[in-house]
């Protein structure tokens, strides 16, 4: 990308960019000629960067408290080749009512990630338990905004569905249960682009049975798999 990018002093959100007007970088609508601060997504008023009609960016906070520039290309190969998302027909057998119980504060589970292979400890607020076909499950879901994010794999992973696994976003019910509607299972961002560093399912979130519900794969315009 054009411009020279550098970190800000510790404790400040975002990055500094030094650019000439000819670089064509606009930060929050203003053409950069000299120096500009690009506020991160963790700032109450994050900045937007425009490089061209098809290239935009923003700054994200990454591991270790550092910041990185993430760029979106509306003319990328993935977007040009994208055709559709394949999904299973609605399957009422995979709407599961589970028991929800809160974990002690600070309970974490390690989630390995796809791009760097690192395991990151995520806070798991509660335990999700149910029994199906004689098998007891105790699933781990971490906090994702106002919801809980369940990262899971099953016997379809790598065959009928995306190899890394799928996501399901859930929330506890007022009566102490939690509804797992696997028809709402979605593909992770890394199913669309390998640039995303997705969490992988921990051992307790790997089903030995097929969960034939929810999204399956990202397809190209000619019906082939966009990613394995």
List pLDDT tens digits, range 40-97. 999 999 999 999 999 999 999 987 789 999 999 999 888 999 999 999 999 999 999 9
Statement: residue 123 has pLDDT above 90: no
Of 31, 58, 75, the position where a domain reaches its end is 75
* Domain assignment of residue 12, yes or no: yes
Instruction: Give the pLDDT confidence of 204-226 residue by residue, as tens digits.
Output: 999 999 999 999 999 999 999 98
**What is the structure's pLDDT at 6?**
96
Taking only the tens place, the pLDDT of each residue in 73-89 is: 999 888 999 999 999 99
In a domain? residue 160: yes
- DSSP E strands: which ranges in the chain? 4-7, 15-19, 26-27, 30-31, 34-38, 49-50, 55-61, 67-73, 82-87, 95-102, 108-112, 119-123, 126-132, 135-144, 147-152, 166-170, 177-181, 215-220
> What is the rounded average pLDDT for all residues in the chain?
93
Kindly report, residue by residue over 162-203, the tens digit of the pLDDT: 999 999 999 999 999 999 999 999 999 999 988 888 999 999
Domain final residue, candidates 23, 55, 75: 75
Residues 70 and 137 in one domain: no
- What proportion of the chain, given as a percentage, has pLDDT over 70? 100
Residue 115 has pLDDT above 80, yes or no: no
The whole domain housing 36 covers 4-75
How deeply is 161 buried, as exposed, middle or buried, from its count of CB atoms within 10 A (0-12, 13-18, 19+)?
buried
């Amino acid at each position: 990308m054009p411009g020279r990018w550098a970190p800000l002093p510790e404790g400040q959100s975002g990055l500094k960019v030094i650019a000439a007007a000819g670089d064509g970088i606009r930060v929050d609508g203003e053409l950069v000629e000299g120096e500009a601060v690009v506020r991160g997504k963790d700032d109450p008023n994050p900045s937007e960067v425009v490089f061209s009609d098809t290239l935009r960016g923003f700054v994200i906070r990454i591991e270790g408290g550092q910041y990185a520039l993430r760029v979106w290309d509306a003319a990328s190969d993935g977007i040009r080749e994208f055709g559709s998302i394949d999904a299973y027909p609605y399957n009422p057998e995979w709407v599961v009512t589970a028991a929800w119980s809160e974990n002690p504060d600070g309970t974490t589970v390690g989630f390995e990630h796809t791009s760097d292979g690192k395991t990151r400890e995520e806070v798991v607020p509660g335990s999700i338990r149910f029994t199906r076909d004689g098998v007891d499950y105790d699933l781990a879901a971490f906090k994702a905004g106002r919801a809980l994010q369940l990262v899971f794999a099953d016997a379809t992973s790598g065959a009928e569905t995306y190899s890394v696994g799928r996501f399901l976003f859930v929330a506890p019910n007022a009566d102490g249960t939690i509804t797992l509607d696997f028809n709402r299972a979605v593909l992770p961002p890394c199913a669309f682009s390998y640039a995303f560093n997705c969490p992988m399912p921990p051992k307790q979130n790997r089903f030995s049975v097929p969960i034939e519900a929810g999204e399956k794969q990202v397809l190209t315009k000619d019906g082939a798999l966009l990613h394995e």
